[in-house]
Amino acid sequence: MRNQPTWRIPIGILALLAALTAYALAVMWASQWIGRLHVLVQTPVYLVLGVAWLLPLRRFLIWMETGRWG
């Protein structure tokens, strides 16, 4: 348990919100091309894009809590 607050948590939350916003905007921008694909191709593309942002999240949350990247 920590005795003193750390700057990593508020900065990490702001960085996470900024990164997720940028990612959502990028997917929204790419949707103009994804939308032209057949629905059976769109589905796995959106599934992958919907889960891809979770990949770096674990290490980032560990950094926010401990200061280490893993």
Residue-wise pLDDT tens digits, 2-48: 677 789 999 999 999 999 999 999 999 999 999 999 999 999 999 99
Q: What is the pLDDT of residue 2?
A: 61
User: What's the rounded Cα separation, in Å, for the pair 37 and 55?
Assistant: 25
Residue 20 and residue 37: Cα distance in Å, rounded?
25
Quickly state the pLDDT bin for 51 (edges 50, 70, 90): very high
CA distance 70 to 68: 6
Is the predicted pLDDT of residue 65 greater than 90, yes or no? no
Q: Model's pTM, two decimal places? A: 0.80
